Amino acid sequence: MKIHIASDHAGFELKQKLVPFIKGLGLEVVDHGPVKFDPEDDYPDLMKPAAIAVASDPVNSKGVVIGGSGFGEAMVVNKIAGIRAVNFYGPKITTQAVDITGRLSSDPYEILRLAREHNNANVLAMGSRFVTEEEAKEAIRIFIETPFLNEERHVRRIKKIDQI
């Protein structure tokens, strides 16, 4: 599995900490930048190559994009055909999520599992202002390890998304 990672200036420090962690999981990492901190960089320029790389090899790759909020980063990558990005904002924000049975979920990472299982999300977007390093590591681990269920209803829905 190859992980394509990118950040902007706001996510640069967190990205630098996550690259060795991902490699430690036995995965290949392709860092699409930035390679040095630049407070004037523009996140679309950095996110687009990572998204294109994931879309060009959807079976063997996933992406991680990091900014200050993660919103703009997700918007950029979702413009690329075949990309389905999910935002994660850490346990403080997602602990109030309702699970698929309508119950309040006690698992703050449930949203990541559902995005992988049901939507075959292939890019994880995070806001460095909302997650700690440890929360980001756990999010990446869950995102990578959770398989797509490949059930007919989910496949059908993803095909409809791809036709939009």
**110 or 121: whose pLDDT is higher?**
121
Structure-block tokens of residue 53: 């790389």
The binding site consists of 8-9, 68-72, 119, 129, 153, 157
Annotated catalytic, 151? no
Q: How many helices (H) and strands (E) does the chain have?
A: 7, 5
Residues annotated within a binding site for D-ribulose 5-phosphate: 8-9, 68-72, 119, 129, 153, 157
Catalytic residue among 32, 73, 135, 138: 73
Single out the catalytic residue among 118, 138, 145, 154. Answer: 118
Based on the residue annotation, tell me whether 28 is a catalytic residue of this protein. Answer: no
Q: What pLDDT sits at residue 103?
A: 64
Q: CA 26, 31, 36: angle at the middle one, nearest 5?
A: 130
pLDDT above 80 (res 62): yes
What is the CATH T-level fold of the domain 2-163, as seen in this structure?
Ribose 5-phosphate Isomerase B; Chain: A, (3.40.1400)
Question: Buried (b) or exposed (e) across 119-134, using 16+ Cβ within 10 A?
Answer: bbbbbbbbbbebbeee
The predicted pLDDT at position 110 comes to: 86
pLDDT of amino acid 94:
54
pLDDT tens-digit profile of 13-42?
Answer: 999 999 999 999 999 999 999 999 999 999
CA-to-CA dists, residue 17 to 21, 64, 137, angstroms: 7, 13, 9
Structural domain boundaries of the chain?
A: 2-163
Which of the four pLDDT bands, split at 50, 70 and 90, describes residue 122?
Answer: very high
Q: What is the pLDDT of residues 141-158, one digit of tens each?
A: 999 999 999 999 999 999
